[in-house]
Amino acid sequence: MIPRVGFFFRFLVTLVPIISALDVPENVKDFYDHVRGKGKCGNVLKGGFNSMDGDSGDFGYCGDYLEKYNIIYIQGKKGQLTNMDIDCDGAQTSGDGRCASSTDTQSQTTFKTRLTSWGQGDLNSYIHPYVVFGNEGSKPNWPNFDPKEYGVEPLSVMAIVCNDQLFYGVWGDTNGDDGDQPMVGEASIALATSCFGNGVNGNQGHDENDVLYIAFTGQDAAPGANGANWSASTSAEFSSSINQLGNKLVERVGSGTNLNARADKAVLFSAYLLGLFWIIS
């Protein structure tokens, strides 16, 4: 009887997202809708990336609001953002085995050396909600993008809007040139599970290009050695340690992006009222 109860309890646990979702603030909702509504990025810092194998290859790192909000995000064309593939790099000391299906797992993440200097181990895909952001490679004509050149700090907090939810993660890894195409849109299995449930695994993520990854520039976005619980044993523990900083950072986002749309609506409404008044009179 007890084993059955234990199994049932473990089953229930698997149904609960490992990180609690946050309500998407109105300014972030406005920004998400604004970015998708305008269709494409005007200031592409670096383009020529793929969201999935064989697609158009016109995804890029967008700097449209780099000066105004101190943010960089990934965007394609025709209103597309990017997807969420699964990254299982780093420490493999825990987890439920879903990373076993990954065919490109690396033994360490990009910033392991920095974590080690803080007395910490490497990031763990099952525990740390990290984003793969930036691209590096030495293959001919391979596009490279280093977010640090624009002020994004390693292991800084990022905001992720996925499945109509908001989560915070950290910039924890970069895309290499081990594949056939330069890819964007990838996150740890901890973050992907929170966004899309336990159906994701090392070889199956979320294919729709509707995920918004926002990186913040500046030292104030980086929790550093003592500002996050890097030694957390669960993703919920780690997430709770960066939520306050994340909430502060997203206050930068979106203020004013819908002013033009709101102004247009106001003009149309005023014209409607004037027309109605003219008809009545």
| Residue pLDDT, tens place only, 233-243 | 999 999 999 99
Contact assessment for residue 126 and residue 94, using Cβ atoms and an 8 Å cutoff: yes
Q: What is the pLDDT of residue 258?
A: 52
Q: What is the pLDDT of residue 4?
A: 44
Angle ∠(70,88,111) on CA atoms, nearest 5: 50
Tens of pLDDT, residues 12-64: 334 334 577 888 999 999 999 999 999 999 999 999 999 999 999 999 999 99
Q: What is the pLDDT of residue 16?
A: 36
Q: What is the pLDDT of residue 14?
A: 40
Question: 114-129 as b/e, with b when 16 or more CB fall inside 10 Å?
Answer: ebeeeeeebbbbbbbb
Name the residue type at position 192. Answer: A
Q: What is the pLDDT of residue 260?
A: 44
Closest CA to 164 of 196, 135, 186: 196
Q: What is the pLDDT of residue 8?
A: 38
Name the residue type at position 111. Answer: F
Q: What is the mean pLDDT of the chain?
A: 88
DSSP 8-state secondary structure symbol assigned to residue 233: S
Say whether pLDDT at 280 is over 80.
no
Among 153-167, 225-239, 251-265, the minimum mean pLDDT is found in 251-265
Name the residue type at position 38. Answer: K
Rounded CA separation 276/271 (Å): 8
The mean pLDDT of 221-249, rounded to a whole number, is: 98
Alpha-carbon distances, residue 183 vs 54, 60, 85, 145, 210 (angstroms): 11, 10, 10, 11, 16
Left, alpha or beta for 214 (phi > 0: left; psi -120 to 50: alpha)? beta
pLDDT-derived band at 105, boundaries 50, 70, 90: confident
Task: Tell me what percent of the residues of the chain surpass a pLDDT of 70.
Answer: 84
Q: What is the pLDDT of residue 72?
A: 99
User: 3-class DSSP state for residue 276?
Assistant: helix
User: 3-class DSSP state for residue 175?
Assistant: strand
Tens of pLDDT, residues 157-186: 999 999 999 999 999 999 999 999 999 999
pTM for the whole thing? 0.85
Closest CA to 198 of 235, 241, 158: 235
Closest CA to 212 of 39, 84, 25: 84
Max Cα–Cα distance, the chain, nearest Å: 81
Q: What is the pLDDT of residue 199?
A: 94
Closest CA to 230 of 147, 87, 116, 131: 116
Say whether pLDDT at 257 is over 90.
no
